[in-house]
Structure formats: structure tokens, C-alpha cells
Amino acid sequence: MKKMIIIATYNEKDNIEKMLAEVYENVPDVHVLVIDDNSPDKTYEIVENLTATKYSGKLFLIKRAGKLGLGTAYVAGFNWGLARDYDAIGQMDADFSHNPKYLPSMFEALKTYDLVLGSRYVAGGGVVNWSLKRKLISRGGSLYAKIILGLPQNDLTGGFKCFRREVLETIDVNQLKSTGYSFQIETTYKTYLNGFKIKEIPIIFEDRVLGVSKMSGNIFKEAILMVLALRKNRDSFIKPRK
């Protein structure tokens, strides 16, 4: 299985080198694509140096003109991976809220399932260092999406995921509409509607220690409205399978 991981970055200079080291320690044969939105802290310069030295041939960089949104970064990464015939395409954050130690079990599960979710809300999963407000927003957002969309999965807003390429080809990543965190709901929903097998693997989500969270009120509002739009257009998302 030819594997890659997408890491979207914006001002992650304090985390990115250590994160890459731990990713490769846990999955030595994986390729990593960093998509940086022209970080003011010049995260991309650290990655450029590592692509030319320590991780030559297995670390790649796309530097974009500016902050264009998390969803568009992942779409760019999915297209990059599909064009290069990767069988498994993962996504994760750079801030260690997604611990690379879970990657081996996620890729192993992908041999049986089509989409693997690193889940905070199944037995064995959880969160660390979150305020009560953030816990309520996260759990409430997942529960809201679960009820409105009729999904059996518990963690619908998490961004630690691994896809088989067939999933991304079927759901047509270039037609994904979300730009913020509702992107995670949209990809899982369209995967489910098209009959693919989804597995939740428990993870402990640890809030970032370094850097600044990207969560905002606008991102949360987008997620609420996007869930309603997804439910309304449900039938249009079901594609003929090859």
C-alpha cells in the first residue's frame, strides 16, 4: 500500500519539524505533503530545508499564496495524491493534537475499511486540556451532525482521517463545498452515503501546547449551516460506483 499524509500548516514553525520526525518514526515508509498557506512565521522555510536534506524523496511541499482555508488545502492535497497513485491518503494536524503514534493502527485498519477516523468519542478515546465550553461545542457539533444527517459515527468533526483512494475518487473531491471544519463532516457523510465502510479508532486528542488555535466563531457557524445544506442535497451525493 502506497501511503501519504497531508499536513496543512499556518504558523506551525514551533511544531512542524518535531511532528515530521514522529510521523516518520511511526510510519517510516510514508510520504508527507505539507501544504502551507504562506505562513508569516515562515513554517514553509523549515519544510523546504527538510525536503532538500533529511527527508529528501519522501517529504513534499506546496506553498500557497495565502490563507485559503483548511478545506481547500486538503482538496489540493487529495488531488496531488491521486495524481501520483497513492493507495492510502491520510490527513492530520501539525500541532500534536493528532498523535502520530496512532498512524500504524489507522493504516492497518485501512486494509479492511475504506475510511478510518481517529475518534475522540468512542470507548478508549477522549480529550485532554480542553475547557468545558470547547468540549460542549465539539460534542454538540458531532451530535448535531449525527442526528441531522443520520450517521452512525460518533466523531464527525475530527480531522485525523485516512482514506482509500477509491473513496476520494468516488466522492469527487473537487465538488466538496466546505472550507472550514465542516469539511470533516462533509467528507465522512459523502463516504457513508456511497456505501463505503467506515471505522472509528479511539484516540486521545491533546490540545496544542505551542502556537494558536485556528478555531473561530465563523467556522462554527459555517458547520451548522453546511450540515443543513448537506441533508437537503443528500440524493445528489450518491455516485455510480466503478
Say what angle helices 182-193 and 132-149 make with each other, to 10 degrees: 30
Contacts of 128 (CB under 8 A, 6+ apart): 204, 205, 206, 207
Residue 85 lies in a domain: yes
Residue 207 lies in a domain: yes
pLDDT tens digits, 60-109? 999 999 999 899 999 999 999 999 999 999 999 999 999 999 999 999 99
Range of the domain at 180: 3-237
The CATH number that applies at residue 155 is: 3.90.550.10
* Number of domains within the chain: 1
Residue 37 lies in a domain: yes
Q: For residue 228, give the C-alpha cell.
A: 443543513
pLDDT tens digits, 172-208? 999 998 877 789 999 999 999 999 999 999 999 988 5
Residue 242 lies in a domain: no
Q: What whole-number percentage of the chain has pLDDT above 90? A: 80
| The model's pTM | 0.93
- Asked if residue 134 has pLDDT above 90, the reply is no
User: Rounded mean pLDDT of the chain?
Assistant: 92
Quick one: pLDDT band at residue 212, thresholds 50, 70, 90?
low
Residue 27 lies in a domain: yes
Residue 134 lies in a domain: yes
- Asked if residue 223 has pLDDT above 90, the reply is no
Amino acid identity for residue 22 in this structure: E
- Span 219-236, average pLDDT: 86
Rounded-to-integer distance, Cα 36 and Cα 217, Å: 23
E strands, 17-172, in order:
31-36, 59-63, 88-92, 115-119, 126-128, 161-164
Residue 100 lies in a domain: yes
Confidence at residue 106, expressed as pLDDT on a 0 to 100 scale:
98
